[in-house]
Amino acid sequence: MTDTKLSFAKFADKYKLLMSQENEHVKCLIIGSGPAGYTAAIYASRADLKPVMYTGLLAGGQLTQTTEVENYPGYPNGIMGPEMMEDFRKQAERLGTDIRYGYVSSVDFSSLPHKVVVDDIKTILADTVIISTGASAKWLGLDSEQKYSGFGVSACAVCDGFFFKGQDVAIVGAGDTAAEEATYLAKLCRKVYMIVRRDEFRASKAMVSRVLNTANIEILYDSETKEIVGDGQSVTGVTVINNKTNETKTLDVTGFFVAIGHKPNTDIFRGWIHMDETGYIKTTPGSTTTNIEGVFCCGDAQDHIYRQAVTAAGTGCMAAIDAERYLAAKEHIVTA
Residues acting as catalytic residues? 156, 159-160
Residue count of the chain, please give it: 336
The rounded radius of gyration (Å) of the Cα atoms in the chain is 23
The contact mask relative to ligand NDP for 233-272 (x = CB under 6 A, - = no) is ---------------------------xx-----------
Neighbours of 44 (CB within 10 A): 32
Q: Are strands 135-137 and 262-264 parallel, antiparallel or unpaired?
A: antiparallel
- Closest C-alpha among 308, 312, 313 to residue 161: 308
Q: Is 160 in the site for ligand NDP (CB under 6 A)?
A: no
Q: Is 14 in the site for ligand NDP (CB under 6 A)?
A: no
Q: Is 171 in the site for ligand NDP (CB under 6 A)?
A: no
Q: Is the separation of the CB atoms in 82 and 60 below 8 Å?
A: yes
Q: Return the number of the residue (98 or 222) whose C-beta is nearest ligand NDP.
A: 222
Distance, in Å, from the CA atom of 87 to the CA atom of 288, rounded to the nearest integer, reads 24
Q: Is 198 in the site for ligand NDP (CB under 6 A)?
A: yes
Neighbours of 336 (CB within 10 A): 5
| One-letter identity of residue 247 | E
Subset of 33-62 contacting ligand NDP (CB under 6 A):
none
Q: Is 273 in the site for ligand NDP (CB under 6 A)?
A: no
> Residues 91, 121, 175, 287: which binds ligand NDP (CB under 6 A)?
175
Q: Is 210 in the site for ligand NDP (CB under 6 A)?
A: no
Q: Return the number of the residue (247 or 331) whose C-beta is nearest ligand NDP.
A: 247
Task: Report the interface residues with ligand NDP, using CB under 6 A.
Answer: 140, 172-178, 180, 197-198, 202, 260-261, 304
